[in-house]
Amino acid sequence: MNINMMNERPIVSVAVLAYNSSKYILETLESAKKQTYERIELIVSDDASTDNTVEICKNWIEENRTYFINVKLLTTSQNSGTSSNCNRLINNAVGEWVKLIAADDILFEDCIEKCVKFVNEHPSVKWMVGKTLKYENIIDEDHLIKSDTLYTSQRLSVLTGSLEEQQAAILNYSFIEAPALFINAKILRDVGGYNEKYQLLEDWPMNKKLLEAGYKCYFLDDYIVGYRKNENSVFNINSKLFNMRYQESLLEFYKSELFEYHNNCYRLNKRFHYLLCLFYQKMRLNNTKKINKISYSALNKLIDILL
């Protein structure tokens, strides 16, 4: 019998990306356990953590595996980056749909229920994105970032726009929030998975690849995930400002896939951003001191103004 029978209630693979996530991963796992949707496979992939993330996961899974249709814990001996970790998850998923989640974020209790309801009501949907609530370190009402301006009228216009509008927009910026994505597993595999050449840049290249393959991203105007803004988040761009491995992935993506669509000023802009990060690393300024962050951000803005 096919494990994905009953298409109106398909298996959903909740795929947890873990790396040195011992501080928060129990909250992520508990949020998967508390889902109102019952047909869930849980997969955790640890990317060679140096803390006790794997041990925490093993103990939790031993006590809670009966809450899921299937449970897998994947490990690797060498850190390979976010894109490779995403591929491990989707290649081991049996679900018809995949809900990726970083091991410091949470799924709201009705997240999977709402996503499945949406795709059932819109049969042409192959991937979709909901809305994200952001929190400062602690996911509770007191730490909710209320001034978040992510869902501007311009971004919402693209999210609800045509495939052609989305294809044009993705060449300029990544308008799709990675934490709130819900994707059909088959199309992820059909487009060849995540590009591991960009080790720490998984979402933008994949979003571009899916749009180029003719799959429009649909928008669910509802909050389905909680995102923890902290220095070590898998999906936190701020934590990657001084990270040369991330900056190298980003520049390689620009050069390989975006530069051909833009003028020389755009190309210079992106190269200068990379060189600025390299300078901060060489001068040993790439740490979390507030003055370094402020100066780095100010110089980045100056580059954008000049170029």
Residue 88 and residue 212 in one domain: yes
Whether residues 224 and 258 fall in one domain:
no
Nearest alpha carbon to residue 127 among 167, 92, 98: 98
Least confidently predicted of 6-20, 58-72, 188-202, 211-225: 6-20
Bridging pattern class, strands 218-229 and 106-107: antiparallel
- Domain containing residue 300: 239-306
Average pLDDT over residues 21-32: 97
Together in a domain, 273 and 141: no
Whole-model pTM: value is 0.92
Q: How confident is residue 1, by pLDDT bands cut at 50, 70 and 90?
A: very low
Residues 47 and 184 in one domain: yes
Which pLDDT value is given to residue 286?
75
Average pLDDT, stretch 153-177? 95
Are 270 and 208 part of one and the same domain? no
Choosing from 204, 230, 256, the residue where a domain stops is: 230
Residues 75 and 212 in one domain: yes
pLDDT for residue 145 is more than 70: yes
Q: Clarify whether residues 226 and 244 are in a common domain.
A: no
Of residues 4 and 43, more confidently modeled? 43
Q: What is the pLDDT of residue 281?
A: 87
Domain containing 107 — which CATH number? 3.90.550.10
* Distance (Å) of CA 223 to CA 9, 23, 129: 21, 24, 10
Work out the percent of the chain whose per-residue pLDDT is above 70. Answer: 93
The predicted structure's pLDDT at residue 148: 63
Let me know whether 47 and 75 are in one domain.
Answer: yes
Any domain includes 7: no
Last residue of a domain, one of 209, 230, 251: 230
Task: Please tell me the predicted confidence (pLDDT) of residue 8.
Answer: 83
Question: Mind listing the pLDDT tens digit for each residue in 108-117?
Answer: 999 999 999 9
The answer to the question of residue 136 being in a domain is yes
Residue 97 resides in a domain: yes
Is 2 domain-assigned? Answer: no
Same-domain check for residues 72 and 204: yes
Question: C-alpha 304: how far from its chain's center?
Answer: 25
pLDDT at position 5: 44
**pLDDT tens digits for 214-248?**
999 999 999 999 999 876 555 444 456 678 899 99
State whether 186 and 248 are in the same domain. Answer: no
Mean pLDDT computed over 279-302: 86
Domain end call among 198, 230, 262: 230
> Does 4 map to a domain?
no
Decide if 107 is inside a domain: yes
Whether residues 253 and 224 fall in one domain: no
Residue 3 included in any domain: no
Reported confidence tier of residue 293, pLDDT bands at 50, 70, 90: confident
Say if residues 134 and 229 touch (Cβ distance below 8 Å). Answer: yes
Both 296 and 181 in a single domain? no
Mean pLDDT computed over every residue of the chain = 92
What's the number of domains the chain is made of?
2
273 or 238: which leads in pLDDT:
273
